[in-house]
Structure 1
Amino acid sequence: MRTPPNERLTSDIAEDRKARSASGPERKCVLSGNHGGRDDLLRLAISPDGDVLFDPRAKAPGRGAWLGVSRGELEQAIAKKKLRGALARAFKGAALSVPDDLPERIDNGLFRNLTERLGLEMRAGHLILGTEKIATAARKGEVHWLGHAADASADGTSKLDQAWRVGSDAEGSDLKGVRLLLDREALSVALGRANVVHLALVDRGAAERVELALARLTRFRGEAEASLGDDEDMTKEV
């Protein structure tokens, strides 16, 4: 049985991210009061005119506020004027304009971040497509992250999952790829390729970046972690 050097059956990518969040400055959700790192919360930017806008990369200059709630919770807070009140208190009564469709804007922004990230990793040569290419790379132990379209067949996903377990020396475990929130049509459009059903990342840093973008979208939509593939951790380190 192949035993790659320094291999673990589960990745420390999630732990690394938690460690960075813990070591950096904490942000506070203006609605829940909960604290978290910048990877765990979403930033709202306040324009000079008082417009409340989603800042997907948390890099916009000027004033801002942080959210750590799901889309459903945000929609309720907007309907009950709680977000407006929380922002008014945070910015000492400044006149602010909160768009009614802010939850939709955030969802679209997070979704776009995920698809753009996948495209960037493909252009960088970190992402491979095609069942045969992925299966070969997986058996060689080169795959750090495996994803399947939401509408991928169970037979196709199970074969690639098994190839990944073989290459990861993890046969008998529950290691398997992520069932994505995107179907094959959305993946094909995002990557500019026809009929994208399965995809894999062969670079650990790329796996971390994609996992983060996916986790942010999943948390905001209020999806259970199980929707990502029924595992808490679906990346590996080699």
Structure 2
Amino acid sequence: MPVARSINGGGGNLFATETSRASEITLADEVDLRPKIERCCLVTRECRDIGSLVRFVIAPDGTLVPDIEGKLPGRGFWVTAEGSVLDRAVKDGYLARALRRVNAEDVVVPAELSEFVALLLRRRCLSLFGLARRAGVVVVGFKKVQGILASGGGRLLVLAAEGAASEDKLRRIAGNSYGDVKVIDFFEARALAPIFGRVNWAYAGVQRCGFAERLLAETERLVGFTNSEVGMHQISARINKAAR
């Protein structure tokens, strides 16, 4: 994979392993919501739920590996899931000092680390969408999405990034259900087309379930590594944005 090779010279096997793990999530992994566990960010020193952090471990070959799922063995370092914070960890020496404290100063911290983390998080989100689709908790199309939102059974409204959903359409699709419905509006139509089985989809919905909550957690982490203003919104905020 080009990104992995640019970070680790020959593209170390643990990068490949972590990338493949991101696409091999099991049904049991995602419907079993894990208990809240807190860790402290290496940079900010703020203790947060691990769902809003990214863990890094040292591989036996001396590679610094982003542990997206937080399951790899070894001593881990936790950083807030924001590109700017991870960039500080690299540029201002936080990771280097942490590595020295565990006698791992020979580990090279790549400058492209935040871009690689973003890639892994994106792949994980797409994998989750695929699992949710196969589990039958995703609907595609205006009428179907409108139906699950109207019934109170919808948790996520997914909009194609290049779509121009008007205020009127958003209000019509949401009905009176938008109090706790979240909007995901930064995935391009082509990225989710193979998963949704439609090339020109504009609206999709995810029912209330473990998959929806897991998708929320992972997309919120991904948003921290994007430079876009779009991301996770309450649907009411998205409607207000469309009105401007």
TM-score, normalising length: structure 1: 0.73
State the one-letter code of the partner of 2:124: N
Contact map agreement 2:80 2:86 (CA 8 A) in 1:
no
Distance 1:187 1:85 in 2: 40
1:151 Cα deviation after fit: 1.8
Classify 1:116/1:191 alpha carbon distance in 2 versus 1 (closer, same or farther; 3 Å): farther
Distance 1:165 1:148 in 2: 16
Distance 2:104 2:57 in 1: 16
Contact map agreement 2:180 2:234 (CA 8 A) in 1:
no
State the one-letter code of the partner of 2:203: H
Contact map agreement 1:42 1:55 (CA 8 A) in 2:
yes
Greater RCO, 1 or 2 (C-alpha within 8 Å, sep 6+):
1
Q: Provide Cα deviations, 1:34-59, integer angstroms capped at 9, x if missing partner.
A: 21121121110211232111011111
Question: Counterpart of 1:151 in 2: which secondary structure?
Answer: coil
Q: Does residue 232 of structure 2 align to residue 228 of structure 1?
A: yes
Contact map agreement 1:135 1:160 (CA 8 A) in 2:
no
Match of 1:36 in 2: 48
Distance 1:87 1:200 in 2: 43
Question: Counterpart of 1:229 in 2: which secondary structure?
Answer: strand
Match of 2:188 in 1: 183
> What aligned pairs does 1:19-30 form with structure 2 within 5 A after superposition?
20-21=35-36, 24=37, 26-30=38-42
Q: Provide Cα deviations, 1:172-219, integer angstroms capped at 9, x if missing partner.
A: xx6665142212122224545312321101233222111111111112
Match of 1:144 in 2: 155
1:221 Cα deviation after fit: 3.2
- RMSD between aligned residues: 3.0
Contact map agreement 1:88 1:96 (CA 8 A) in 2:
no
- For structure 2, the 5+ residue unaligned runs are 1-32, 239-244
State the one-letter code of the partner of 1:136: G
State the one-letter code of the partner of 2:232: L
Report the identity percentage.
27
Q: Does residue 67 of structure 2 align to residue 55 of structure 1?
A: yes
Match of 2:169 in 1: 159
Aligned length: 206
Distance 1:206 1:233 in 2: 23
- For structure 1, the 5+ residue unaligned runs are 1-16
> What aligned pairs does 1:96-175 form with structure 2 within 5 A after superposition?
96-155=107-166, 158-166=168-176, 168=177
Contact map agreement 2:59 2:65 (CA 8 A) in 1:
yes
1:222 Cα deviation after fit: 6.5
Q: Provide Cα deviations, 1:93-134, integer angstroms capped at 9, x if missing partner.
A: 553222222111101011111111111100100111111222
Contact map agreement 1:161 1:177 (CA 8 A) in 2:
no
Distance 1:80 1:214 in 2: 27
